[in-house]
């Protein structure tokens, strides 16, 4: 069975601005690059069969830094992308609360099923990400693989592994540059490590501990 080494990408400027990124192709900030170097150091001595990543730049950059010591080339998978936030992409969380108060209230009532204008629901994101992870795990049934993705998908995936109702999975904290390890996936998954950040000690505190993206 597969061991999943789940990594959230390093921080971007938009993370620090508490801005919805979704499918917009932002790059790592200087702090994000430092976080990527630290997680690469943390995983340097692991026996890794492959590295899969969201095809968005912030994840690709993180994955390439992790891959370098192992001589691997990250495999981009669109299925690992963050949720699409539609018209909210590029706006700060405060902007969205001010411009779309009724929609924000609707989202609070149904955080999993709610669809931002022109976007996708977190439920749809969950189904897409789980399908991508199941596919890549099937290629490596007895090995460890790195999966670099985003805060939202990671919360949904880890919540599912823990049997947490989807709406409650957003209570999980998954920091930029963190490591979460799931063993024995998919038959009898065990979350052995959640949101490990010891390797980030000494760097700036995260600006975006709650929502992700």
Specify if 212 maps to a domain.
Answer: no
Model confidence over 137-175: pLDDT tens digits?
999 999 999 999 999 999 989 998 888 887 888 889 999
Specify if 210 maps to a domain.
Answer: no
Of the pLDDT bands very low, low, confident and very high (cuts 50, 70, 90), residue 213 is low
Q: How many CB atoms lie within 10 A of CB 165?
A: 9
What would the DSSP string read from start to end of 153-213?
HHHHHHHHHHT--GGGGGGS---TT-EEEEEEETTS-EEEEEEE-GGGTTSPPPS--SS--
The predicted structure's pLDDT at residue 139: 95
Contact (CB, 8 A) for 82 and 54: yes
pLDDT at position 209 over 60: no
Model confidence over 34-60: pLDDT tens digits?
999 999 999 999 999 999 999 999 999
Cα 53–chain centre separation: 10
The predicted structure's pLDDT at residue 169: 86
Specify if 38 maps to a domain.
Answer: yes
The predicted structure's pLDDT at residue 206: 61
In whole angstroms, give the CA distance from residue 35 to residue 177.
5
Among 92, 80, 112, smallest CA distance to 9 is for 80
In whole angstroms, give the CA distance from residue 194 to residue 198.
12
Catalytic residue among 9, 23, 84, 150: 9
Specify if 100 maps to a domain.
Answer: yes
pLDDT at position 210 over 60: no
Query: For the chain, how many structural domains are there in total?
Result: 1
Specify if 15 maps to a domain.
Answer: yes
Is 50 strand, coil or helix?
A: strand
Catalytic residue among 37, 61, 82, 120: 82
- Host domain of residue 7: 2-200
Helix (H) or strand (E) holding 67: helix 57-67
64 is catalytic: no
In whole angstroms, give the CA distance from residue 44 to residue 48.
9
Model confidence over 168-200: pLDDT tens digits?
888 899 999 999 999 999 889 999 999 999 999
CATH number at residue 96: 3.40.50.1240
Q: Is 186 exposed, middle or buried (0-12, 13-18, 19+ CB in 10 A)?
A: middle
Specify if 107 maps to a domain.
Answer: yes
61 is catalytic: no
**How does the average pLDDT of the chain come out, rounded?**
93
Specify if 208 maps to a domain.
Answer: no
Q: What is the pTM of this model?
A: 0.94
């Amino acid at each position: 069975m597969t061991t999943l080494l789940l990594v959230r990408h390093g921080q971007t400027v938009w993370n620090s601005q508490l801005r919805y990124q979704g499918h917009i192709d932002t790059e790592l900030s200087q702090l994000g690059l430092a976080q990527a170097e630290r997680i690469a150091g943390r995983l340097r001595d692991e026996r890794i069969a492959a590295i899969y990543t969201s095809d968005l730049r912030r994840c690709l950059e993180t994955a390439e830094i992790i891959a370098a010591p192992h001589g691997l080339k990250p495999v981009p998978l669109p299925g690992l992308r963050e949720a699409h936030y539609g018209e909210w992409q590029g706006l700060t969380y405060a902007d969205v609360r001010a411009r779309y108060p009724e929609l924000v209230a609707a989202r609070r009532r149904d955080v999993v099923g709610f669809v931002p204008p022109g976007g996708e629901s977190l439920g749809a994101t969950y189904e897409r990400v789980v399908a991508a992870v199941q596919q890549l795990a099937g290629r490596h049934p007895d090995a460890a693989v790195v999966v670099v993705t985003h805060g939202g998908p990671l919360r949904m995936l880890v919540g599912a592994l823990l049997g947490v109702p989807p709406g409650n999975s957003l209570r999980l904290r998954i920091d930029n540059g963190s490591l979460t390890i799931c063993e024995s996936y998919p038959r009898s998954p065990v979350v052995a490590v959640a949101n490990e950040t010891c390797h980030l000690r000494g760097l700036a505190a995260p600006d975006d501990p709650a929502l992700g993206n």
